[in-house]
Chains A and B, each alone.
Chain A
Amino acid sequence: MLALASLGLTVAACSDDATSSGEVVITCAACQQSPTDPFLQYNYEAAQRFNQQFAGTYRIEVQQNQNAGSSPDRLQYYQRLALADDLPDLFQLNSGEIKSLQTTNKLRNFSGDLNADPAWKDTFLPSVFDALSGDDRQIWAIPQQRDAIGMFYNTKLFASAGYAAFPATWAAFEQAAAKLKARGTTALAADGDWATMLIWVNLIGTQPGGKDFLTGELDSGDYSGNAQAVKASETLRAWHNKGWVNSDAFSGDFQDAAAAYLSQSAASVANGPWFVKTTLKSKSAPADLYHDTAYTTAPGWADGERGVIVVTGAGWVSGTQADGDKAKAVTEFAKFISSPAESLKQAQATGANPPVKVETSAIANAGLEPLSTGLAKTVATTKYTYPHVRVYGPAGFGNAWKNLWPAYVKGEIDTHKFLSRLGTDATKQAGAK
């Protein structure tokens, strides 16, 4: 009898949580703790808050993996899981990756959930789903953030060259860069990858017709025929050759651009609001640099036409489709993570801005980082708003860029060849056959 009772207790202890306690357990492959990635760390903490709020009903189980953050191998990792029909219930992808993974038909379409709850759907800012939607109005992801990307600049260094604010046009920026160079200061910190491409996109997007290229032709396979791309490439190359960009700008490592700005040898750097949290407030930053830094929309090609890139791409996706209980849990988490309260917590933790409408008073009460939120407030009135190059562009765009950009700047390949190969390679990276 005792043995039977023991066996019964053992079996009960080993049985599935969902059946024994009624608690539905869902897996998250982007919720692991990270000492280096503030976004993953935030996800982890949000998952713990979710578990606390829904204790006994839903529980998120964290799946440890090397591809939780952004990495070139992330898409391949989830493609393999999709093949094995073993996608996690929750994970994160950017829109380029979503484009590729949606072909597996293993991703959850959130449009039904959103349509069933118009109040929830209405909390999101306009167009945040644009880069996350399929051809037939499927919504493959719930956006994690919506950030504007512009320029951080050192007010003291620009003031030393006679500028009270960052130049309003690229032509004026070039004049400022020449003056800064004469004073021994680099005008722009770049890295050959992320920061460089942000500038390249701004240079394209702030031209008439530039937005069409970024949202359409970036998938065409050959960029050499696009006048805006040609002009932007040649302009940026000229800046390198004139010494207006840091000399180690080809490494593909953003730390090199950040170091140039933090060491105050460079007067500006392109980036998003998380730059403040992850770099400007890091231990390696001089204490007074924060106070000498301002955040602005990027210049345009003409006066009054400043540009800004808006990131709406990365989001929460799910491999759960048929299981009703798990689907409910996933939807509940999507609502939880995208709530204004949770979005503000994320903004505080990471510096990133929320994808949902939040009352101005709530933003003020949250005590958000002023440098991080400054640009977000101006986005609505900025004349040009452009999608992120990696969001609308092919996934893995950076690999082709890092390979070709140094050779192009040094004159080893011409503009036509650079853009032609960049387009072809980048489109190949997106999985086009």
Chain B
Amino acid sequence: MVASRVPPGMARPVAVSIAPGAILFTVFFLAPFAVLIGSSFASWGGLDFTFTGWDNYQTMVQDPVFWKAVRNTLFYSAVSIVIQVPFGVVVGIILSQKLPGWRTFRTVIFVPFVISGAAYALVYAAFYNSRYGLLNQTLSVVGAGGKDWLYDTSTARSAVAATFAFIIGFTVILVMAEIASIPRELYEAAETDGASLLQQHLRITLPLLRNVIGTCILVRLLGDIGMFDVVFILTSGGPNDSTVTLALYAYRAYLDGAWGYANAVGTTILLIGLILIVTVRRAFRIGERAL
């Protein structure tokens, strides 16, 4: 019972202290959350509001574009898990060895992470441009034929994914920070027992990085589930919806004036995010002490 822990005479000051935070939390989180969930069961275009039960959800699951959006969103998430995080961990471990020039390299790797998604996407749009883009120009130099990377359904999704697959700055920094906190005695003992550098990292570093790796996967997943800016600027979800994400799909519904439907998609994004959070937290036992 929280109330019983409040010292006598302190109930009022505590309530007054908590009130601003509670009000802000209610107004800016709980209320919008309630609107999101509630309106997802309604036909709402901003002017008219009619509860329609599960209609929005039924329409959503019957729309092939929605399932394209789900597949694409999961694809982008998978790219993060399969390429971005492992690559970041490996680079983080290598940089932790503090070889010559590691500080410069760390800075270079971190820069793409702090650039805004919009600016990043514009750079890649120019890079992929079929007429003057660096990619096709380079390919033509080596005699290879260029492609219309972003506007061909066979390459568009991979081209979009390639723009963020190697943004590893966040993972690298977290991994390096975690490695710095691992007691050196563990490595010295392993070295005394004849363990090679690779064995030391496989048996000591990686297990102790479990929490950090889980956190990186979680953060990337949450980012990818709501991916919007890069895709919006590069392809607007096209061609033929081959790059559309759930967030972009919801945005289109919002532009269509179908706010209730857009919120049903938003609720679905929320549910998928919650499922992934719980799954990853359990898989990596995030929160439990690794050492």
Binding site for B on A (CB under 8 A): 72-73, 76, 79-80, 83, 100, 103-104, 192, 246-248, 250-252, 256, 260, 396, 399, 402-407, 410, 412-413, 428-429, 431, 433
> How many A-B contacts if CB must be within 8 Å?
80
Cβ of A399 and Cβ of B236 under 8 Å apart?
A: yes
CB-contact partner of B238 in A72, A103, A256, A407, under 8 A: A407
User: In the assembled complex, which residues on chain B have CB atoms less than 8 Å from the CB atom of A73?
Assistant: 255
- Tell me whether A247 and B238 are in contact in the complex, defined as CB-CB below 8 angstroms, given that A406-B151, A431-B256, A433-B43 are known contacts: no
Closest to A403 in B: B238
Binding site for A on B (CB under 8 A): 43, 45-47, 125, 129-132, 148, 150-153, 236-242, 252, 254-258
Closest to A250 in B: B151
29 cross-chain CB contacts under 8 A: A73-B255, A79-B46, A83-B46, A100-B257, A104-B47, A247-B130, A248-B131, A250-B239, A251-B129, A251-B150, A251-B151, A256-B129, A396-B255, A399-B252, A402-B236, A403-B236, A403-B238, A406-B151, A406-B152, A406-B238, A406-B239, A406-B240, A410-B151, A410-B153, A412-B239, A412-B240, A431-B45, A431-B257, A433-B258
A252 to B151, CA, bound (A): 11
- A417 CB to closest chain B CB (Å) equals 9
Closest to B153 in A: A412
Cβ of A403 and Cβ of B46 under 8 Å apart?
A: no
Cβ of B239 and Cβ of A252 under 8 Å apart?
A: no
- A85 CB to closest chain B CB (Å) equals 12
User: In the assembled complex, which residues on chain B have CB atoms less than 8 Å from the CB atom of A104?
Assistant: 47
Cβ of A248 and Cβ of B238 under 8 Å apart?
A: no
User: In the assembled complex, which residues on chain A have CB atoms less than 8 Å from the CB atom of B132?
Assistant: 248
- A308 CB to closest chain B CB (Å) equals 29
User: In the assembled complex, which residues on chain B have CB atoms less than 8 Å from the CB atom of A407?
Assistant: 153, 238-240, 242
A422 to B240, CA, bound (A): 11
With A399-B236, A407-B242 given, name 20 new contacts (CB 8 A).
A72-B255, A73-B255, A76-B255, A79-B46, A248-B131, A248-B132, A250-B148, A250-B151, A399-B252, A399-B255, A404-B238, A406-B148, A406-B151, A406-B239, A407-B153, A407-B240, A428-B256, A428-B258, A429-B255, A431-B257
User: In the assembled complex, which residues on chain B have CB atoms less than 8 Å from the CB atom of A83?
Assistant: 46-47
Closest to B156 in A: A406
User: In the assembled complex, which residues on chain B have CB atoms less than 8 Å from the CB atom of A192?
Assistant: 151
A260 to B129, CA, bound (A): 13
Closest to A413 in B: B240
A150 to B132, CA, bound (A): 27
With most chain B CB atoms within 10 A of its CB, the pick from A100, A406, A410 is A406
User: In the assembled complex, which residues on chain B have CB atoms less than 8 Å from the CB atom of A256?
Assistant: 129, 131
A270 to B126, CA, bound (A): 23
User: In the assembled complex, which residues on chain B have CB atoms less than 8 Å from the CB atom of A79?
Assistant: 46-47, 257
A169 to B254, CA, bound (A): 42
Cβ of B148 and Cβ of A247 under 8 Å apart?
A: yes
- A297 CB to closest chain B CB (Å) equals 28
Cβ of B129 and Cβ of A252 under 8 Å apart?
A: no
- A140 CB to closest chain B CB (Å) equals 17
Closest to A100 in B: B257
Cβ of B257 and Cβ of A403 under 8 Å apart?
A: no
4 closest A-B pairs by CB: A407-B240, A403-B238, A406-B239, A406-B151
User: In the assembled complex, which residues on chain A have CB atoms less than 8 Å from the CB atom of B153?
Assistant: 407, 410, 412
Cβ of A260 and Cβ of B131 under 8 Å apart?
A: yes
Cβ of B152 and Cβ of A410 under 8 Å apart?
A: yes
- B64 CB to closest chain A CB (Å) equals 11
CB-contact partner of A103 in B47, B150, B151, B152, under 8 A: B47
User: In the assembled complex, which residues on chain B have CB atoms less than 8 Å from the CB atom of A413?
Assistant: 240
With most chain A CB atoms within 10 A of its CB, the pick from B125, B130, B237, B254 is B130
User: In the assembled complex, which residues on chain A have CB atoms less than 8 Å from the CB atom of B151?
Assistant: 192, 250-251, 406, 410
User: In the assembled complex, which residues on chain B have CB atoms less than 8 Å from the CB atom of A431?
Assistant: 45, 256-257
CB-contact partner of A410 in B43, B239, B241, under 8 A: B239
User: In the assembled complex, which residues on chain A have CB atoms less than 8 Å from the CB atom of B256?
Assistant: 428-429, 431
- B254 CB to closest chain A CB (Å) equals 7
User: In the assembled complex, which residues on chain A have CB atoms less than 8 Å from the CB atom of B45?
Assistant: 431, 433
User: In the assembled complex, which residues on chain B have CB atoms less than 8 Å from the CB atom of A399?
Assistant: 236, 252, 255
Closest to A402 in B: B236
CB-contact partner of B131 in A246, A396, A406, under 8 A: A246
Closest to B131 in A: A248
- B154 CB to closest chain A CB (Å) equals 9
A76 to B46, CA, bound (A): 9
With most chain B CB atoms within 10 A of its CB, the pick from A73, A80, A247 is A247
CB-contact partner of B129 in A248, A405, A433, under 8 A: A248
A428 to B254, CA, bound (A): 11
- A314 CB to closest chain B CB (Å) equals 19
Closest to A427 in B: B256
- B3 CB to closest chain A CB (Å) equals 40
User: In the assembled complex, which residues on chain A have CB atoms less than 8 Å from the CB atom of B239?
Assistant: 250, 403-407, 410, 412
